[in-house]
Amino acid sequence: MRNSIRKALYKDIPGIHELLKQVNLVHHLGRPDLFKKANKYTDEEIQAIIDDPGQLLLVSIDESETVTGHAFCIYQQQFGSNLLTDVKTLYIDDICVDENHRRQHIGQQLFAEVKQIASNTGCYNITLNVWALNPSALSFYQSLGMQTLKTTLETKLG
């Protein structure tokens, strides 16, 4: 099967929801103290993301137009900081490949497209967060050449 990557369309929203459920379940099972078992976005919120030029929502689709992966991205830029430079970043807020379509290089294809778009739009870098509960995701991102930028630590109280 051949997958292609394109910007998301409204018709992709049901497939995107299926992937968001898979992402949520990983997080909920790993940290039920932090993650509810719930939908991250409503249909209207996904529509707004699709329409927002400050965000990028890509999907991977197969020949039958089934959504097999997605990448939610947000353009970020800090202006006028006394400390930080004004670099433009493309932040990957959420990336997922359907559990039935893994090991087909869809994640690599999504990341390559994100990287190309980031380069074409003048971004300095691409960033994302990985939860400690998901070491396979960390390994995947490292295999793409990503390196640790910062680390968030916690102490639970009570």
* Token pair belonging to 32: 């039920």
**Residue ranges per domain, the chain?**
4-143
- Which pLDDT score is estimated for 84? 87
CATH fourth-level superfamily of 4-143: Gcn5-related N-acetyltransferase (GNAT) (3.40.630.30)
Kindly report the pTM of this predicted structure: 0.93
Q: Which residues contact 73 (CB under 8 A, 6 or more apart)?
A: 55, 56, 57, 58, 90, 91, 92, 93, 114, 117
Q: Which residues contact 39 (CB under 8 A, 6 or more apart)?
A: 17, 20, 21, 24
- 75-130 pLDDT, tens per residue? 999 888 899 899 999 999 999 999 999 989 999 999 999 999 999 999 999 999 99
- 38-80 pLDDT, tens per residue? 999 999 999 999 999 999 999 999 999 999 999 999 999 988 8
Tell me which amino acid residue 39 is: N
- Which pLDDT score is estimated for 1? 58
